[in-house]
Every structure is written in structure tokens, then in C-alpha cells.
């Protein structure tokens, strides 16, 4: 990265980490009808079903009761414009329900307020910008849990004023068996993933082993509490693509927890990446890493197969290389890592960058780059990644739990295409 670029970015990051003035709504809006505080509202969070430039999904988990409507307006509105009904559905086998309302037809790059009937609080959020020419930041990570480190990184993440957070598996470690743990994760997220202006930070996720009872190769129903929350993005398959206007696509994969890596998912991935290979920003996220930093990449059995990431490397990495994926976000090993740009497993300046390895709230000692030549750098620190996208440039900054910059790298534009 050019030193001036790096300094400029770090300066901005430091400014964002500084305390800010209290957030206040600039104009008065008539309060919604209120009778009682809505139960479960302390787990309210935002996610997406479709293009985040024009829509958002509001959800919370609470005991059964009336489904209150959601009212919204843009930040300058004097009155509530839209009234959206809420639907409910079971939260797995728990006594609680998932309450859901989707706002659509929103204006890109715009701030909104909303309120839930019966609850006095007014919430704020913003839609994604319409075009890639706007600079924006998002944060990513994985392997959170509900401990103090996870909360510290939530608070640090929110200070970066990201447009959204991408948590790629192992959210609360509910293991498909603990509704309380799944709910505790949401409550932490709801409380702390609010930026310095009071805006909620939408949550995008993909599946990890600790969302699934049994971890790997299980039916969809074994992700007991995951799909009741996130099936807006995964109505049928357990992998998907989320397109932000025409400038960013997130391709979110299932590393064998419900859907096998080979077969239908890989076929889908080839077509999905081919359709998006010219996007300015094409980013893949998956839970189990192709290039692990803690576990062994090769097995020790008779065949020598089935090391961690073996399926990814066989079936997915060639597609990432062929279709110009800009960066792959990996997790599960509970370290910080950055690989060299890799082509066929070897450093290559036109290769694909892999960032990981999931230590938002969980930690293990990484293997050194000397022992794993595909690794460029590793670290043992609770961390999250800040991704700043400017036009066709990407800056990736790893922040440790204290806010210290652990690593900075940049990727520019698209690599030479390798089609055919």
C-alpha cells in the first residue's frame, strides 16, 4: 500500500475510534402508539433478504404475543411514512417467537428511523449507497461466542461506523441445542452493534459448525436456531449470494455443515461467480478455511486426504481463481491470518487473498508462516477485520481487541482475468 494511503486510512480509523457526541434525532416525530414495552425488543437487530441499497429486515426474538407493526420514516421526516406488519414464527424448539418485518422500496444511501408499536424507543439505520464510487466500510469476523472478548470486539466494531457486519459462522456457539445461547448472542449484538450516531449495524451471516447440532453433514433442521433467524437469505439452500447494487457481491458458502462442498453447491458456485466476475468487489465468505492457520491442511489417514480445507481447495479455490474473486474471508481456526495471494496453493501476485481465521471471541495459537508457506502473517489476538472500499480499491485492516492495528493490506481493482 502507498504509505500516504496507509497513513490516511489509519488517521481516519483513529478518528472513528474517538468518542463522539451523543446521538439525537434532529427533528421531532410523533411517537408511535404505546401501551407497553415490547417483550424481546432487547434482541432487535437488522439483516437483509435482498439488495441492501433499498431494503432491510427487522427482527427480534420474544415470547408469544401480538405482532406489533413497524413504522418508519427518513431522518428528515416529520411523520411516520410507512406501516409494515410483523410476522412471527417459532424460534426453533424454544418457547420464543421470531418477529420479523421487512422494509422495501427504500432510498439508497439514506438514513431512516423506525419504531415498533408499543415500544417507546426510536431506532436508526441507513441503507447502503447506490454506487461503488461512494466510500464505505464494513466489518467481518467469525467465532464470537458470548464472552467478554466478543463484547469488546462488538464495541470496537461499532466504533468503525461500518455499514454492516459479516459474521461468517460460529456466532453464539448454541450448537443447535441452546436457545438461550443463541438469544444471548443476539442481545449482545443488539446492545453493542450500534454506531456512534445511534445507527443499528445490519448483520449478515453464514453457517458455521457451532450453529448445527452435530456440526457437519447434518440436515437443515439441525441448525435449530440459525435458519429461523437467517432463512430470509437462505430460503431453500444453505449458501447464497447477496448483491449490493452493481458494485459488491457477497458469496456466502456452507462448508459442509448442511450442504456438502462438492456437488450442487459447487455447481451453483461456478455459475454464481461467473455471473459476477466483473463486479468491482466480489467477496466470498465461508466458515472452515481452505488455508488453515491452526488445524492441519492435510489428513494423516491412509489416503492423506480430508485435512481441513481439503474440499474447499479441491472444489472452490479453482473457481475463486478463475472468476476473479477479490478476497475470501475464512474462519473456524480462531487466529488472525493473512495468506499470500495464492494460485493453486502457491504465492502468486495474481492469486487470491484469504483473510481469517475467526477470532472475534475465540482464540488458538496459530502455526507459523515458516511451517505453512501459504501464510504471509499470523497473530494470536482476538480480532476483527475492517474493510474499506473506495471505488475499485479495498483496504483490509485487522484490529485487535484493544483497537490496535494488527495488519493492513490493500487490493486494487481486478486481477488479469483467467477465463476459459
In the complex, which residues of this chain contact Fe ion (CB under 5 A)?
Answer: 143, 170, 208-209, 332
Cβ distance to Fe ion smaller for residue 351 or 361:
361
Cβ distance to Fe ion smaller for residue 170 or 401:
170
How many other CB atoms are there within 10 angstroms of residue 270's CB atom? 16
Cβ distance to Fe ion smaller for residue 56 or 165:
165
Cβ distance to Fe ion smaller for residue 62 or 145:
145
Cβ distance to Fe ion smaller for residue 144 or 352:
144
C-beta of 338: minimal distance to Fe ion in Å? Answer: 19
Q: Reduce the DSSP state of residue 182 to 3 states and report it.
A: helix
CA distances from 333 to 22, 135, 409 (A): 38, 31, 21
C-beta of 240: minimal distance to Fe ion in Å? Answer: 19
Q: How far is Cα 25 from Cα 124, in angstroms, rounded to an integer?
A: 9
Phi-psi region of 372 (alpha: psi -120 to 50; beta: other; left: phi over 0): beta
CA distances from 263 to 158, 250, 303 (A): 38, 21, 21
C-beta of 206: minimal distance to Fe ion in Å? Answer: 11
Q: Reduce the DSSP state of residue 16 to 3 states and report it.
A: helix
C-beta of 169: minimal distance to Fe ion in Å? Answer: 6
Residues 383/160, Cβ–Cβ less than 8 Å: no
C-beta of 373: minimal distance to Fe ion in Å? Answer: 24
C-beta of 143: minimal distance to Fe ion in Å? Answer: 4
Only one residue has cell 449470494, namely 241
Q: Reduce the DSSP state of residue 42 to 3 states and report it.
A: helix
Q: How far is Cα 233 from Cα 70, in angstroms, rounded to an integer?
A: 21
Q: How far is Cα 354 from Cα 332, in angstroms, rounded to an integer?
A: 13
Question: Torsion angle of alpha carbons 342, 345, 348, 352, nearest 10°?
Answer: -20
User: Which residues, at least 6 apart from 271, have a Cβ–Cβ distance to it below 8 Å?
Assistant: none
Strands, DSSP E only, in 86-224?
87-90, 96-103, 111-116, 122-126, 136-141, 165-168, 203-206
Cβ distance to Fe ion smaller for residue 287 or 394:
287
Cβ distance to Fe ion smaller for residue 86 or 359:
359
Helix (H) or strand (E) holding 34: none
Cβ distance to Fe ion smaller for residue 70 or 207:
207
User: Which residues, at least 6 apart from 177, have a Cβ–Cβ distance to it below 8 Å?
Assistant: 213, 224
Residue 184 grid coordinates: 444471548
C-beta of 334: minimal distance to Fe ion in Å? Answer: 6
Cβ distance to Fe ion smaller for residue 74 or 310:
310
Cβ distance to Fe ion smaller for residue 40 or 169:
169
Residues 46/58, Cβ–Cβ less than 8 Å: yes
User: Which residues, at least 6 apart from 84, have a Cβ–Cβ distance to it below 8 Å?
Assistant: 69, 70, 71, 72, 101, 102, 103
C-beta of 198: minimal distance to Fe ion in Å? Answer: 31
C-beta of 337: minimal distance to Fe ion in Å? Answer: 14
Q: How far is Cα 255 from Cα 246, in angstroms, rounded to an integer?
A: 26
**Helix 148-159 vs helix 3-17: angle between axes, to the nearest 10 degrees?**
110
C-beta of 297: minimal distance to Fe ion in Å? Answer: 16
C-beta of 323: minimal distance to Fe ion in Å? Answer: 26
Dihedral of CA 215/220/222/225: which sign?
positive
Cβ distance to Fe ion smaller for residue 306 or 412:
306
Amino acid at each position: 500500500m502507498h504509505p500516504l494511503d496507509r497513513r490516511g486510512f489509519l488517521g481516519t480509523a483513529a478518528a472513528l475510534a474517538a468518542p463522539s457526541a451523543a446521538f439525537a434525532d434532529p427533528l421531532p416525530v410523533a411517537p408511535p402508539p404505546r401501551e407497553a414495552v415490547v417483550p424481546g425488543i432487547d434482541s432487535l437487530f437488522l439483516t437483509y433478504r435482498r439488495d441492501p441499497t433499498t431494503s432491510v429486515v427487522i427482527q427480534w426474538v420474544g415470547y408469544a404475543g401480538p405482532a406489533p407493526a413497524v413504522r418508519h420514516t427518513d431522518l428528515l421526516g416529520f411523520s411516520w411514512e410507512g406501516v409494515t406488519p410483523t410476522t412471527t414464527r417459532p424460534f426453533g424448539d424454544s418457547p420464543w417467537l421470531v418477529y420479523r418485518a421487512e422494509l422495501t422500496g427504500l432510498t439508497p444511501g439514506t438514513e431512516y428511523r423506525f419504531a415498533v408499536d408499543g415500544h417507546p424507543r426510536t431506532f436508526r439505520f441507513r441503507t447502503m449507497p447506490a454506487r461503488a464510487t461512494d466510500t464505505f466500510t464494513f466489518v467481518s469476523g467469525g467465532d464470537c461466542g458470548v464472552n467478554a472478548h466478543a463484547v469488546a470486539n462488538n464495541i470496537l466494531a461499532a466504533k468503525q461506523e461500518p455499514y454492516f457486519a459479516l459474521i461468517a459462522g460460529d456466532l453464539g456457539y448454541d450448537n443447535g441445542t441452546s436457545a438461550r445461547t443463541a438469544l444471548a448472542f443476539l442481545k449482545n449484538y443488539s446492545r453493542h452493534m450500534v454506531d456512534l450516531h445511534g445507527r443499528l449495524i445490519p448483520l449478515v451471516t453464514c453457517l458455521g459448525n457451532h450453529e448445527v447440532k452435530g456440526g457437519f453433514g447434518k440436515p437443515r433442521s439441525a441448525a435449530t436456531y440459525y435458519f429461523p433467524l437467517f432463512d430470509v437469505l437462505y430460503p431453500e439452500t444453505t449458501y447464497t449470494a447477496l448483491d449490493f447494487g452493481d458494485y459488491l457481491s457477497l458469496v456466502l458458502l456452507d462448508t459442509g455443515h448442511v450442504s456438502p462442498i462438492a456437488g450442487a453447491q459447487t455447481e451453483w458456485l461456478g455459475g454464481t461467480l461467473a455471473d459476477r466476475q466483473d463486479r468491482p468487489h466480489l467477496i466470498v465468505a465461508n466458515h472452515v478455511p481452505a488455508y488453515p492457520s491452526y488445524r492441519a491442511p492435510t489428513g494423516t489417514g491412509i489416503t492423506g486426504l480430508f485435512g481441513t480445507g481439503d474440499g474447499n481447495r479441491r472444489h472452490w479455490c479453482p473457481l475463486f481463481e478463475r472468476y476473479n474473486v477479490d478476497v475470501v474471508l475464512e474462519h473456524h481456526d480462531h487466529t488472525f491470518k493473512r495468506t499470500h495471494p495464492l494460485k493453486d496453493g502457491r504465492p502468486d501476485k495474481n492469486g487470491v487473498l484469504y483473510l481469517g481465521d475467526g477470532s472475534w471471541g475465540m482464540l488458538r495459537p496459530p502455526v507459523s508462516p515458516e511451517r505453512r508457506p501459504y501464510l504471509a502473517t499470523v497473530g494470536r489476538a482476538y480480532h476483527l477485520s475492517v474493510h474499506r472500499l473506495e471505488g475499485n480499491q479495498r483496504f483490509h485492516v485487522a484490529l485487535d481487541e484493544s483497537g490496535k492495528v494488527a495488519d493492513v493490506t490493500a487490493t486494487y481493482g481486478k486481477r488479469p482475468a483467467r477465463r476459459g
